[in-house]
Amino acid sequence: MRGIRLGHSLNIRRNKRRQLKFDDQEESASFEEDDFDTGILKIDDVDDLCFKSGDPTDDYKIGETNVSQLFRNYQNESVRIAKDGGLFVESNVHEILSLSSIFLLIPNSHSKTMINIFGSRLVDKIHLKVKPVQGTTLNPDWELKFQEAIKKATKISRECAVDWFYTELARDRNLRENLGSVILNYLETLPIEKIRNEPNEITFIINYLDNIMRGTFHNPDKHIVQWPNINPKENSAIFIGEVSAPSQKDNVYKNCKDLIMLGVLMKDCMDSAIDKGADINIIGFQCVDNIIDFYITDLIQGIYFMIHVGQVSVPTSVKDMIYFVNEIEILLGIREILQKSYDTLHDKNCSPSLPLAKAKFKRDTFGTPQFNQLLSKTHDCYGICSHRYGHF
């Protein structure tokens, strides 16, 4: 697992163990691969777990609706299901996360149990209420230039598009800073037509995904970006993510387990920030095949809302870039949230303060033997690639 932490990393786990090293003057790589082990298939060791009501004045409400009470009902129903037949990784992601007080909210992706207790309209209403407002927009003139460069590459030649776009970037520095550098790099490196063979995981990250992450979140004078491995017990990250290569897009078990791990680590990172007095959002992403889903976690009166905030496609050809341009505003919004969270956490590290008042709303992370074994079965990687935040 890897992630952007204050002064540390962007967390990305891969499904096979590998070792990779890059040096300034030389490059060396060694690989160690394991067959994917499904491990724990379900959770049923919930023992006497029960979620009880507290002070009603501490409950989260929307109008007359007591969301906290409904969520406790949902948690206790998840416990009942676990006792009766078990919570399965592939079909009960929402319920498993609820045992750690995590409320996963993804549009049009609600479990049957969630709908039975909340109703689909209320779930959608809650999502809209807690989702951060993203007011960042892409300048229409820049969007037209991105589209024009792609058109030149596909209709005339790559060289013509690159030369023209270099000139545009030189004229307007803001164009480069608002993902113009990402567009340029893709123009220079992507094939015009998509390659039919699916890339392996290393190739996918280096040739496709890294350009988005580096071009969006890298700042050479403030945030140095690497992708080193970190211990999942380290919880000072502000940006963590999971990656499954195209070859793993149909591995439902792995991808569901990765999402559970992502939610739990985002919760633990939120708790760490609260203890430091930093009121921030924790950002997470899951990349499956060439689709990146972004999440924000926030603690609101005892509920860790894990909120889906956007989806971005990773282009694998110049022709695919036109769809990516339409999604750039999502990345700009995520970057704005990340920068605010980074600055806040940095200030608290430099000038420590008492925990936030909402520390009283922190909840325990579910940690039975089966659940801990589920998380420990995740394959890890060891390597230095591209994302690390901060000069400290």
Residue 62: the pLDDT is 96
- Cα(304)–Cα(159) distance, rounded to whole angstroms? 49
Looking at residue 223, what DSSP letter applies?
B
- Is residue 237 domain-resident? yes
- Is residue 269 domain-resident? yes
- Is residue 141 domain-resident? no
- Is residue 367 domain-resident? yes
218 plus 124 within the same structural domain: no
338 plus 261 within the same structural domain: yes
- Cα(127)–Cα(132) distance, rounded to whole angstroms? 10
C-alpha of 252 from chain center:
18
234 plus 258 within the same structural domain: yes
The residue count of the chain comes to: 392
238 plus 91 within the same structural domain: no
Number of structural domains found in the chain: 2
Residue 222: the pLDDT is 65
Q: Identify the helix (H) or strand (E) that includes residue 284.
A: strand 282-288
21 plus 61 within the same structural domain: no
333 plus 290 within the same structural domain: yes
- Cα(53)–Cα(63) distance, rounded to whole angstroms? 19
- Cα(181)–Cα(202) distance, rounded to whole angstroms? 22
- Is residue 229 domain-resident? yes
Residue 245: the pLDDT is 84
C-alpha of 4 from chain center:
10
- From 130, 145, 178, the end of a domain falls on 130
Q: What is the pTM of this model?
A: 0.86
In this structure, the number of other CB atoms found within 10 A of the CB of residue 44 comes to: 14
356 plus 207 within the same structural domain: yes
CA torsion 174→176→178→180, rounded to 10°?
A: 140
Structure tokens at 97: 């996360």
- Give the domain extent around 249: 2-38+199-383
- Is residue 161 domain-resident? no
Residue 85: the pLDDT is 92
Query: Residue 187: which of 164, 213, 214, 158 has the closest Cα?
Result: 158
28 plus 48 within the same structural domain: no
- From 130, 165, 187, the end of a domain falls on 130
Q: Which residue has the tokens 């549009």?
A: 107
Q: At what angle do helices 210-217 and 328-350 cross, to 10 degrees?
A: 60
Spell out, as residue ranges, where the chain has pLDDT lower than 50: 1-37, 231-233, 378-392
Residue 34: the pLDDT is 40
Q: Are 280 and 117 in contact (CB under 8 A)?
A: no
Q: At what angle do helices 140-155 and 158-171 cross, to 10 degrees?
A: 160
- From 130, 153, 174, the end of a domain falls on 130
Q: Are 336 and 267 in contact (CB under 8 A)?
A: no
207 plus 283 within the same structural domain: yes
- Is residue 273 domain-resident? yes
Residue 30: the pLDDT is 34
Residue 230: the pLDDT is 52
Q: Is 69 exposed, middle or buried (0-12, 13-18, 19+ CB in 10 A)?
A: middle
- Is residue 274 domain-resident? yes
- Cα(156)–Cα(190) distance, rounded to whole angstroms? 16
- Interval 5-25: pLDDT, tens: 444 444 444 444 333 332 333
47 plus 32 within the same structural domain: no
13 plus 77 within the same structural domain: no
Query: Residue 335: which of 135, 104, 131 has the closest Cα?
Result: 135
Q: Which residue has the tokens 């200030």?
A: 347
- Alpha-carbon Rg for the chain, nearest whole angstrom, is 22
261 plus 301 within the same structural domain: yes
